[in-house]
Amino acid sequence: MMFHLRFVFIPLFIILQLSVIEFVNGGFSVNLIHKKPSASSLLLQNTPQSKTNAYLGHYLMELSFGTPPVKIYGIADTGSDLTWTQCVPCIDCYKQLNPLFDPTKSSTYSNISCQSDKCSHWLDTGVCSSQNQCNYTYAYASASVTRGVLAQDTVTFTSPSGNPISLPGIAFGCGHNDTGSFNDHEMGIIGLGGGPISLISQIGPSIGGTKFSQCLVPFHTDVSITSKISFGDGSEVIGDGVVSTTMVSKEDKTPYFVTLNGLSVGDKYLPFDSSSNTVAKGNMFLDSGTPPTILPNKLYEELVDEVKKSVALTPIVNDPELGNQLCYRTSTNVNAPIITAHFEGGDVKLNNVQTFITPKDGVFCLGFTNTSSDGGIYGNFAQSNYLIGFDLDKHTVSFKPVDCTNQQ
């Protein structure tokens, strides 16, 4: 965690389907039937999508803002709501490689007034400026902060058909003062949380439902390899191998809380809370903006102990760059046992690609860390190579193991 709209019309096309082969006058005659595409196939062709790629612990998601559209690459973050990008003029901003978004060059851009519900109800930190603009300050658990003006503009997605899907009037933050641990490839953050100002909450009513699915490639993948985040109808996670767990509603509507009963290292089961016969509902939330999976101290220590017993290598000690992480010196990934996350409703199995990460050449570290809190965060290392569906209407999160590098 950096912690009524419409579609563009896509023309119908004709599918030629080979249907009948007849023997006529000593030869074969092929009858072709002209068949209109089904409603479901058209929905799939109209599914809004965004490309994503892995870069330095985050997933960069491609969207286009404004008219004419300008590509923005922001961190895909299910742990926050506000979508924002650095804008001209940038008074105090971090360095980015791509040009800043210039509101004056978009014919569909407008600032949101202080009197708007989007300012007063959606954004607790909205402050009225002397120009009647809704100024915001949005902070993250990483200590990063964005400050700027709440605005609205057309946002354009791609689609399986190749045609753009443009949705007007999407609220976002035009950042003019942004600080924190951002790298020069990151142009802002795409807020995919469950709150009212998040991207998915804004576009959901216009695309067939408040739901989306993501497929995150592992971090060892070449940055040129992309996968997709899909929205609305056509984004459902279905088929063989799917397991689902229930979202747990809490006062904070942003995080996607789920219940983790425990973890297994191989056949060794580790309950989430061994001091009680019951597990607190909603003790974890899924955050694509946080790399490691964060566990309460006791469960983390038990996990590390079991992994050490199962790995035939000597852990690295006294390396200040690595701190207290469990790391091994090896040229290939660690031969580690499967770690199973036992969610309420189904199990998600994690292999070494999802559980061991290489912070530097010749070193692999366990992609988990600890917290003094009673709850935890299911980070993006563990989410890779799974098609994960977030259905805010049905209140479910679904997992399907796939090779996300083949989901381009």
Three-class SS of residue 62? strand
Q: Note whether 369 and 294 are within 8 A (CB).
A: yes
Tokens linked to 202: 């804004």
Query: In this predicted model, what pLDDT tens digit does every residue of 109-139 receive, in sequence order?
Result: 999 988 888 887 666 655 676 678 899 999 9
Structure confidence at residue 199 (pLDDT): 97
Q: Is 55 exposed, middle or buried (0-12, 13-18, 19+ CB in 10 A)?
A: middle
Q: Which residue type is seen at 377? A: I
Nearest Cα to 384, choosing from 341, 351, 342, 361?
Answer: 351
* Ordered domains of the chain (ranges, CATH): 43-231 (2.40.70.10), 243-406 (2.40.70.10)
Separation of alpha carbons 179 and 241, rounded Å: 42
Query: In this predicted model, what pLDDT tens digit does every residue of 224-247 receive, in sequence order?
Result: 899 999 999 999 999 999 999 999
**pTM summary value:** 0.87
The most distant pair of C-alpha atoms in the chain lies apart, rounded to whole Å, by 86
Structure confidence at residue 118 (pLDDT): 81
DSSP secondary structure of 116-153: SHHHHTT-TT-EE-TTSBEEEEEE-TTS-EEEEEEEEE
Structure confidence at residue 408 (pLDDT): 59
- The count of C-alpha atoms lying within 13 angstroms of the C-alpha of 288, restricted to the half-sphere facing its C-beta, is 34
Q: Which residue type is seen at 393? A: D
Residues forming a β-bridge with 27: 24
Structure confidence at residue 356 (pLDDT): 97
Residues annotated as part of the active site: 77, 287
DSSP secondary structure of 15-34: EEEEEEEEEETTEEEEEEEE
Across 275-287, average pLDDT: 85
Query: In this predicted model, what pLDDT tens digit does every residue of 33-88 receive, in sequence order?
Result: 334 443 344 456 789 999 999 999 999 999 999 999 999 999 999 999 999 999 99
Pick the residue with more confidence: 208 or 2? 208
Q: Read off the pLDDT band of 1 (50, 70, 90).
A: low
Tell me how far apart the terminal alpha carbons of the chain are, to the nearest angstrom: 25
Structure confidence at residue 363 (pLDDT): 96
Query: In this predicted model, what pLDDT tens digit does every residue of 308-341 receive, in sequence order?
Result: 999 999 999 999 999 999 999 999 999 999 999 9
What share of the chain in percent tops pLDDT 90? 76
